[in-house]
Structure 1
């Protein structure tokens, strides 16, 4: 008796599985996220130019955007070219804004003479300004205290 119930249940599951596979195969072709066939050549996306001038911040602790190109900047484990102008030891003579003192604190709050490892990769928070359309819809309004 038990064996016949198990066999019947197995037959039902097998037929449902086969039916599901047939239905999935007949559902139509897979659509590409890029909107074209895999081997199709698409035109390059428009390159947006760097915005001139400084962008106003939208909220009090917003990281400032970068008002210059970073195309040739090297930022890796050993080198950070941003510091050649923005480190406290160079900023005055280069006329560049100095990094915030928070960039010289380790994770325990101890003051350092060099940029903390947790703040080494500038483009984690700071992005170059570009006159590009928004990638997604946004109804964000700047806080009144930022201006």
Structure 2
């Protein structure tokens, strides 16, 4: 097959159909493409313009666990984390959420998955890839959702339609 003309392998009837389709498509009147304007979730309508920056939402500090908004969502942080130090040497979240401190603090224990390395081996301390909590967990604030959410947690609504 090497060195042969690849178009020789296409049947003449198929080639005629392809050419006819291309000719008819080129002969049709070309309307302006329909542009669907989607409201921006963040930023401004004009990409390079400057506008008023919206204020940050106030942290919700009621310590009530929130339902998740989509499957596999990491839990949100239901308290203020202003001033929390999160560095290679210090992680203030662990002061309350490590298993040995949860009884005294009343905080939920971090998941056992946070103690597993990439190979599934259980470690004695939090794995480095799960150490920086705010990479996945975000603080809950009192802002209006940007888009409507219709998600229903299947585990909590097993009997619901």
TM-score norm. by structure 2 comes to 0.60
Report which structure shows greater RCO (CA 8 Å, sep ≥6): 1
Residue segments in structure 2 that go unaligned for 5+ positions in a row: 1-45
> How much is the aligned-residue C-alpha RMSD, in angstroms?
2.2
Aligned residue runs from structure 1 range 1-147, under 5 A:
32-35=48-51, 45-51=54-60, 52=62, 53-135=64-146, 137-147=147-157
Instruction: Give the deviation of 1:78 after TM superposition.
Output: 1.6
Q: Supply the distance in 2 between the matched residues of 1:89 and 1:31 (Cα, whole angstroms).
A: 49
Instruction: Give the deviation of 1:113 after TM superposition.
Output: 1.0
Indicate how the Cα distance of structure 1 residues 129 and 31 shifts in structure 2: closer, same or farther if over 3 A, else same.
Answer: closer
Instruction: Give the deviation of 1:62 after TM superposition.
Output: 1.9
Partner-residue secondary structure (3-state), 1:118: helix
Residue segments in structure 1 that go unaligned for 5+ positions in a row: 1-29, 36-41
